[in-house]
A and B are shown apart, each in its own frame.
Chain A
Amino acid sequence: MVDILMLPAVLTACLPVVNLCQMFSYSGEVICEPPNNKLDKFTGTLYWRDNKYPLDNEKMLLRGCVLRNTDWCFGMVIFAGLQTKLMQNCGRTKFKRTSIDKLMNTLVLWIFGFLVCMGVILAIGNTIWEQKVGRTFSVYLLWDEPIRNNNVVFSGFLTFWSYIIILNTMVPISLYVSVEVIRLGHSYFINWDRKMYYIQKDTPAEARTTTLNEELGQVEFIFSDKTGTLTQNIMVFNKCSINGKSYGTMHICVWFLCTRTDCVDFSFNPLSDRKFKFHDSSLVEAIKMEEPSVQEFFRLLSLCHTVMPEEKNEGDLVYQAQSPDEGALVTAARNFGFVFRSRTPETVTLYEMGIAVNYQLLAILDFNNVRKRMSVIVRNPAGHIKLYCKGADTIIFDRLDPSNQEFAGEGLRTLALAYKDLDENVLEEWMKRLLNASTVIENREEGLADLYEEIETGLMLLGATAVEDKLQEGVPETIACLTLANIKIWVLTGDKLETAMNIGYSCNMLRDDMNEVFIISGHSVSEAHALEPELEQVLLETACLCKTVICCRVTPMQKAQVVELVKTNKMAVTLAIGDGANDVSMIKTAHIGVGISGQEGMQAVLASDYSFAQFRYLQRLLLVHGRWSYFRMCNFLFYFFYKNFAFTLVHFWFGFFCGFSAQTVYDQWFITLFNIVYTSLPVLAMGLFDQDVNEANSHRYPSLYRPGQLNLLFNKRQFFLCTLQGMGTSFLLFFIPYGAFCLVVRDDGSHISDQQAFAVIISTSLVIVVSVQIGLDTYYWTAVNHVFVWGSLAVYFAILFAMHSDGLFSILPSHFPFIGTARNCLTQKSVWLVIMLTTVACVMPGLAVRFLKTDLYPTLTDKKKAKSLNIDTQCRLCRSRPRSRTSDSCGGPGAVHADTVARCTMFSSDTLVRLASGLSGHCVKKQCGLVGLCFGGLRLS
């Protein structure tokens, strides 16, 4: 876990390596930059035997690198542990918690405060009662020793603690356990979801954490990586232009019907890659005709790169490329007969149309983001020295006649290729200066860049290539749908502006009719400044005014900074989605991190909270799983708090009648079992299975996602309401039986107003009331819900009768003193009359309020449900009748949304995907002619 400096080749050459021990005895000195997070830069110098040797990024093995094509190498540790560049870039891992979690903790504290308040009230009550009444009653009930010493306050103090113990069921431990169980269940549902399983890669979705599920229903900002997340990160050599002639037009489009021309047959080339496809056979014919420009074109592609070949068996070539587009280009050259076979530090071996040719590699002028090009200088077997250069079209075209500009703006990555013949003397002189420049510590890069610039002039254009990174399936639809759900999607990419914009267009994120588009480019000075404190706010405000935000050329750290900026300032839930190591810091920073298990290894997935294979699953994760999780969790919490308030506060009311003596209303066994056995399973079933709107409608009406973002379903107000409902229920639960039984007798005249009978009546009423309430709160009655609700009731009565049975009493008389109470109570008609009255009185007001709410202030969910119900019934009744008033009254935004999405899905089959992904560049242009213009304008500005 260290960054290692490989000893430079120059040095290794100088070192008379005799044995390892001797190697260790060499003493030199390395002076280098302090630890930083720049992955692509390193500056340092090695001083050894009075010589200076330049050290740069090329000579570094960063933490996490793997040695290829060699078994060992000598190195020296530069940075270790947290100082390594990767760790510097990681950002700190924070423990992620959901807002509901935080709210829950606050509420638990509140409840605790409430508990203390009630304890104090009851303790004061006890003090007064003991003073006024208890004193006189002490004939029958002697005061304990300490109280007898004329100290009723002490009695109050003891009562306070007794009531704290009795009333602590308001905050049961089972709340936390149940919440965790529900979250675990939701995570499993994500893991089990077939619709998030990617069949090609055999990758199911995976919830890597079980603590964030309900936050998925509250996301407001999505920060997405581009390459590999929106796109497949599979580079396809798509088109090329050689000497002004364009090859690779793949579609003949008549209206929307596009047909592909047949694939080219590469059987003439035994070393070809079978997976490679190209659709223009004229290029093969050109190469078979041995056209020099075409040959030179592919020679350049096979020479000018940093790909490493791996040949395990004869003819079975595998390329290890730093970037997928480089690999794509070398593979293309390979298939067209210019096979890059092997390389040493000084030579490159090609098989040109089956003949081995050795090129001497004189210099590599490597690629970086400023230069946007790379060159190699080689000496061919004939002794000619040539410079081959490939680079971004804009850079190369600066000096050349622009013949290939039409590639731009089609979502393709365009590279121009050029070459130059070099004179031996010029090169020799230049090489000396290069060596000098590369040992300077200060401004080394600038010096080198100047030198490179100097030699890369006067290039001759060979042609241009276009490599396409295809959009993943369903990306435009997903983005459209998420946008309708009022989720803002920001694209943060390391790519250049043009590519990012093209993807933006093909994803429907950019449209011609948009005025509020904000595209910032990092690496330019502006963004670096923009992330400084003074400008942060401006950046944020501007960005939030826009419909679409695309940040290009951002580093991993900047991605995280942008996320952090939104997270801290907008108080909104953020989600970051990415696939590569460069997204790790952003994934860790955001509230929720999603990893795409794609081409670029596992780092993103390992750092993420959720992972799946395709971007389009995000829609299902948020709109279905997230929404349900949030809805279920909120309903669960509402009911749970209600239930426990209703259960516990009965003791409070009873306190006023039993001299505040901390006598419990219920049987001890009932108190123990109420939360664990009698009422835990129905509410768990609701928390796990409930669905207010089915998944089809969740997709159809993305605006149903809005309540989660606004945090409407469970907040402090809702908590207050459920507290109120719980208190009301406990009040009725206590006072109705009190009124009825305070003076009543059994139908055989014997009394029933004793404490045990009262306990049975209230606990039975309570269990029935909360069961009815959960029945009303459950929107989706599966068999499991039925079993749990009815089962819980059955179990309650079974346990009640068992606890009150003769057998248990005769074994342990002091633990089961309620013998016979259930039998004697529950056979009485008056008891059932009271239970029924209590149930009706407790449940009806809530029902009425809910009905009024749906009528007066219908939520979106209510409307959609009413609508789908209406449509259902109407469809059943009469298919031809127009929609009813209900659907009209809520037809506004919902209907529009539905239509838009419907349109997207309608076309998604074939054409739209192709249109959008820019596969058929011409079609795009014809359909939306303005794209090109707009694009051009922007580029100029």
Chain B
Amino acid sequence: MGKVKANAGPLARRPDNSAFKQQRLPAWSPMLTAQTVLPFFYGMATVCVLLGVWLLVTVQNTHELKVDYTHAGSCDKCFEKRKDRANANQSCNCTVVFNIENTFKGDVFFYYGLINFHQNLRQYMDSRDDGQMIGRNKNLKNPSSYCEPFMKDKNGLPIAPCGAVANSMFNDSFTLVYHSAASRQVVPLFRKGITWYTDKNVKFRNPQVENKTLTLAQVFEGTGQPLYWQKPVYDLDPWDRNNNGFINEDLIVWMREAAFPNFKKLYGVLNRAIEPFTEGLPAGNYSVDISYNFPVEYFQGRKEVVLSTVSWFGGQNNFLPIAYLVTGCLILLLAVILTAVWWKFAL
């Protein structure tokens, strides 16, 4: 192994006297002494507890309201109706009533939640074609085989957007109504701006065509709509032409698959420009008019509507402050034990 050096001489094979070769590299050797470890433990405990308290206080100032509408109120009949697939094309509307006791101050977010819906199955998550959704014409007419069995429709037309994810898109729609003493007022919601910027502007693009005059319907000509959809992809949002096709925000939100079977996805944001919602959602009676389309009874799922305000670290989330408090206390306990042991054995 020893390399023979070119220079001959009596000391030709003498190893170099470098710090690296002689393992004398200057180094810092930290040691676990009581003087460093114990203060560190107490410090960490303090930091965790303080953070926990702060987070807890913050969380206390946020509001969240969940309304399970699976078969609540008049939705029961819709639930029954959706049990039978033959009724898939019949619309069903229902209303759920609820009450907000304290004003939701600040920005209020409207979510729909699904329980026991597995967006995180491997085969399900793979069943999509990002190439198609970025608007590549090749992929539009010739989607990836991962989309099977949702790749081609009965007529042999390629499905756009293909795959199980898009096919199972949540298609209930909601209208939130505020019942004040005087009147019944529809709560205005922004239905755009509910996605990540990168998703809306990079990841999802409508197919590019040279002829700019073509309508979206013409662009998507030659493709079929997903099997379970009632409308084609270029007609998802009847009110906003620019919110159609692959860049429809509801579609984008749905396509970002949830990690766990219970999840909520953003539906809309309260428009605070209009009275009496400038401060948020005032206390009072509300109802949600639901266009009940999405069947959940097959998989024993549940559907809910969530209204929530957010803090600087996200929505209402009790886990984080409590976890911090518990961790902080445990570290404190550990620190005390360590101190006792050190006191008894090492001193």
Please, which residue of chain B has its CB at the minimum distance from the CB of A663? Answer: B122
Stretch in contact with the other chain, from B71-79, B179-187, B192-200, B206-214: B192-200
User: Is B11 in contact with A781, judged by CB distance below 8 angstroms?
Assistant: no
Considering residues A192, A207, A823, A885, which has the most beta carbons from chain B within 10 angstroms of its beta carbon? A192
User: Is B134 in contact with A810, judged by CB distance below 8 angstroms?
Assistant: yes
* Residues of B with C-beta under 8 A to A162: 122
* Residues of B with C-beta under 8 A to A865: 31
Q: Is A379 an interface residue (CB 8 A)?
A: no
| Cβ-defined partner of A741 (8 Å) among B111, B259, B300 | B259
Stretch in contact with the other chain, from B91-99, B124-132, B154-162: B124-132
User: Is A689 in contact with B196, judged by CB distance below 8 angstroms?
Assistant: no
| Distance from B42 Cβ to chain A, minimum over Cβ atoms (Å) | 12
User: Is B196 in contact with A851, judged by CB distance below 8 angstroms?
Assistant: no
* Residues of B with C-beta under 8 A to A141: 118, 121, 123-124, 127, 164, 168
Please, which residue of chain B has its CB at the minimum distance from the CB of A807? Answer: B202
User: Is A661 in contact with B123, judged by CB distance below 8 angstroms?
Assistant: yes
If A199-B14, A851-B37 touch, whether A754 touches B259 (CB-CB below 8 Å) is yes
Task: Mark contacts of A132-150 with chain B using CB atoms, 8 A cut-off: 1 yes-contact digit, 0 otherwise.
Answer: 0100110111101000000
Task: Mark contacts of A260-293 with chain B using CB atoms, 8 A cut-off: 1 yes-contact digit, 0 otherwise.
Answer: 0000000000000000000000000000000000
User: Is A743 in contact with B315, judged by CB distance below 8 angstroms?
Assistant: yes
Please, which residue of chain A has its CB at the minimum distance from the CB of B132? Answer: A813
User: Is A749 in contact with B262, judged by CB distance below 8 angstroms?
Assistant: no
* Residues of B with C-beta under 8 A to A819: 198, 202-203
* Residues of A with C-beta under 8 A to B120: 657-659, 661, 663, 755
User: Is A742 in contact with B260, judged by CB distance below 8 angstroms?
Assistant: yes
Please, which residue of chain B has its CB at the minimum distance from the CB of A757? Answer: B259
Task: Mark contacts of B317-345 with chain A using CB atoms, 8 A cut-off: 1 yes-contact digit, 0 otherwise.
Answer: 10110011001000100100110011001
* Residues of A with C-beta under 8 A to B310: 745-749
User: Is A663 in contact with B320, judged by CB distance below 8 angstroms?
Assistant: no
| Cβ-defined partner of B299 (8 Å) among A133, A780, A844 | A133
Q: Is B346 an interface residue (CB 8 A)?
A: yes
Please, which residue of chain B has its CB at the minimum distance from the CB of A850? Answer: B32
Q: Is B12 an interface residue (CB 8 A)?
A: yes
| Distance from B266 Cβ to chain A, minimum over Cβ atoms (Å) | 5
If A755-B257, A780-B29, A810-B134 touch, whether A744 touches B203 (CB-CB below 8 Å) is no
Q: Is A933 an interface residue (CB 8 A)?
A: no
A738 to B317, CA, bound (A): 12
Task: Mark contacts of B262-293 with chain A using CB atoms, 8 A cut-off: 1 yes-contact digit, 0 otherwise.
Answer: 11111001000000000000000000000000
Q: Which of B16-34 contact A (CB under 8 A)?
A: 16-17, 21-23, 25-34
A780 to B26, CA, bound (A): 9
Q: How many residues of A contact B (CB 8 A)?
A: 98
User: Is A824 in contact with B259, judged by CB distance below 8 angstroms?
Assistant: no
User: Is B15 in contact with A197, judged by CB distance below 8 angstroms?
Assistant: yes
* Residues of B with C-beta under 8 A to A840: 44, 48, 327, 331
Q: Is A596 an interface residue (CB 8 A)?
A: no
User: Is B199 in contact with A192, judged by CB distance below 8 angstroms?
Assistant: no
If A657-B261, A756-B256, A844-B41 touch, whether A750 touches B194 (CB-CB below 8 Å) is yes
A743 to B59, CA, bound (A): 13
A810 to B259, CA, bound (A): 25
If A137-B298, A203-B13, A830-B320 touch, whether A749 touches B315 (CB-CB below 8 Å) is yes
Q: Is A83 an interface residue (CB 8 A)?
A: no
Q: Is B238 an interface residue (CB 8 A)?
A: no
* Residues of A with C-beta under 8 A to B32: 847, 850-851, 854
If A141-B164, A695-B23, A755-B120 touch, whether A749 touches B16 (CB-CB below 8 Å) is no
* Residues of A with C-beta under 8 A to B15: 191-194, 197, 204
User: Is B109 in contact with A745, judged by CB distance below 8 angstroms?
Assistant: yes
| Distance from B67 Cβ to chain A, minimum over Cβ atoms (Å) | 15
Please, which residue of chain A has its CB at the minimum distance from the CB of B342? Answer: A855
Q: Which of A828-862 contact B (CB under 8 A)?
A: 828-830, 833-834, 837, 840-841, 844-845, 847-848, 850-852, 854-856
User: Is A662 in contact with B122, judged by CB distance below 8 angstroms?
Assistant: yes
Please, which residue of chain A has its CB at the minimum distance from the CB of B21? Answer: A192
User: Is B134 in contact with A813, judged by CB distance below 8 angstroms?
Assistant: yes
If A197-B15, A837-B323, A865-B31 touch, whether A747 touches B313 (CB-CB below 8 Å) is yes
| Distance from B133 Cβ to chain A, minimum over Cβ atoms (Å) | 8
* Residues of B with C-beta under 8 A to A197: 13-15
| Distance from A439 Cβ to chain B, minimum over Cβ atoms (Å) | 53
* Residues of A with C-beta under 8 A to B298: 136-137, 139
User: Is B266 in contact with A745, judged by CB distance below 8 angstroms?
Assistant: yes
A167 to B195, CA, bound (A): 34
A206 to B3, CA, bound (A): 10
A824 to B31, CA, bound (A): 39
Q: Is B51 an interface residue (CB 8 A)?
A: yes
Q: How many residues of B contact A (CB 8 A)?
A: 100
| Distance from A692 Cβ to chain B, minimum over Cβ atoms (Å) | 9
Please, which residue of chain B has its CB at the minimum distance from the CB of A823? Answer: B198
| Cβ-defined partner of A204 (8 Å) among B14, B31, B133, B168 | B14
* Residues of B with C-beta under 8 A to A779: 29-30
A204 to B5, CA, bound (A): 12
Q: Is A820 an interface residue (CB 8 A)?
A: yes
User: Is A204 in contact with B196, judged by CB distance below 8 angstroms?
Assistant: no
* Residues of A with C-beta under 8 A to B129: 814
User: Is B27 in contact with A657, judged by CB distance below 8 angstroms?
Assistant: no
| Distance from B311 Cβ to chain A, minimum over Cβ atoms (Å) | 8
A767 to B300, CA, bound (A): 38
If A136-B299, A834-B320, A855-B346 touch, whether A745 touches B338 (CB-CB below 8 Å) is no
| Distance from A563 Cβ to chain B, minimum over Cβ atoms (Å) | 25
A513 to B125, CA, bound (A): 80
A817 to B136, CA, bound (A): 15
Q: Which of B36-57 contact A (CB under 8 A)?
A: 37, 41, 44, 48, 51, 55
User: Is B260 in contact with A753, judged by CB distance below 8 angstroms?
Assistant: yes
| Cβ-defined partner of B313 (8 Å) among A785, A809, A829, A855 | A829
Q: Is B243 an interface residue (CB 8 A)?
A: no
Q: Which of A734-774 contact B (CB under 8 A)?
A: 736, 738-758
User: Is A782 in contact with B25, judged by CB distance below 8 angstroms?
Assistant: yes
User: Is B266 in contact with A813, judged by CB distance below 8 angstroms?
Assistant: no
User: Is A780 in contact with B27, judged by CB distance below 8 angstroms?
Assistant: yes
User: Is A751 in contact with B203, judged by CB distance below 8 angstroms?
Assistant: no
| Distance from A319 Cβ to chain B, minimum over Cβ atoms (Å) | 25
User: Is A202 in contact with B31, judged by CB distance below 8 angstroms?
Assistant: no
User: Is B258 in contact with A194, judged by CB distance below 8 angstroms?
Assistant: no
User: Is B37 in contact with A847, judged by CB distance below 8 angstroms?
Assistant: yes
A250 to B65, CA, bound (A): 105
A830 to B308, CA, bound (A): 17
Please, which residue of chain B has its CB at the minimum distance from the CB of A742? Answer: B260
Q: Is A784 an interface residue (CB 8 A)?
A: yes
In addition to A751-B263, A851-B34, A854-B32, 9 A-B residue pairs with Cβ atoms within 8 Å of each other are A194-B17, A197-B13, A745-B266, A745-B314, A750-B266, A751-B265, A755-B125, A844-B41, A851-B37
Closest 3 A/B residue pairs (Cβ): A820-B198, A192-B21, A830-B313
27 pairs, CB–CB < 8 Å, chain A vs chain B: A137-B121, A137-B299, A191-B15, A202-B10, A202-B13, A210-B1, A657-B260, A657-B261, A658-B122, A659-B120, A661-B120, A662-B122, A663-B121, A691-B27, A691-B29, A745-B111, A749-B315, A750-B253, A754-B259, A756-B256, A782-B27, A814-B130, A819-B203, A820-B197, A823-B198, A834-B320, A851-B338
